[in-house]
Amino acid sequence: MISRYRVSLGGVQMDSLDSNLRILDVGYSAPDEHITASRVANLDGFSYNNKYTEKQAVTITFELHIYSIADRNEACQKVNAWAAAGGNLTVNERDGQFLYNVRCEQYATIASARNWTDPLTITFSTTSIPYWISSTAKTLTLTGTAEAGTLVMDGNIGNALVSATITASSNTVTSLQVTAGSTSITLSGLSLAATKSLVIDYINGRYLRIRQDGVDAMSKMTAGSSDVLCIPCNATSYLEVIADNAVTTVFTVRGRWL
């Protein structure tokens, strides 16, 4: 039974789980933000020190319009199994955005076998990235030994992580510097042969990973390199690559949304 609301988890539409499942509503929590502050002498107000966002949650209200109590329970367990797998979550009212790798925070529970038309709810929350992410990435390609450009980012909150694939053109690259906005990573002692690639990306959307032709190259980072490459959303940022031999660099960035 198809409703006006569509919810997909890990590429599987929720209303495809059972022909008698009808999605009634999709609800959102405000981002769970934590602020650290301090008092200034005996003055009113406070000094703002830091803020971080822990998670966002999405609650799906649905109905299993099934008179048989056994069949209704079986359908509910099928929904919970779907939810337990986790994955990227999309809803049709936020076209072009998704929540990355959500987990089920509250499973659906049948409170009454008798009241077989009662609504049920299931809640998902974010894990490593507490924002909606653009489904389509922004990209910028630079070719040469010292090339720079700008990228106009979408999104409306925070900083977006910048990934980069750097391919040596015709000679072996031994050193390079990649800059994104106010962040920069410098690598030395490389042996990136012609046509081979070095990839800067992130594990679980959070932790920096650098691989040279598929082999870990984190040890090639020099002191003073940034922990990640990132640029602010809803702004224009400067990107640059400097290498000792010509490379082609493809930057990839996805905007973040409240």
End-to-end alpha carbon distance in the chain? 30
pLDDT the model gives residue 48: 66
List the one residue out of 171, 207, 164 whose CA is nearest residue 191.
171
pTM: 0.90
* CB-CB contact of 154 with 236 (8 Å): no
pLDDT the model gives residue 96: 96
Rounded-to-integer distance, Cα 4 and Cα 92, Å? 9
As a CATH number, domain 7-130 is 2.40.30.200
* CB-CB contact of 228 with 201 (8 Å): no
pLDDT averaged per 10 residues, the chain (length 258): 87 95 94 72 73 87 96 97 97 96 96 94 94 97 97 95 97 97 97 96 94 95 96 97 97 96
Domains of the chain by residue range: 7-130, 137-257
pLDDT the model gives residue 53: 77
- What class does CATH assign to 137-257? mainly beta
pLDDT the model gives residue 13: 96
Rounded-to-integer distance, Cα 162 and Cα 181, Å? 10
pLDDT the model gives residue 34: 66
CA 70 to chain centre: 38
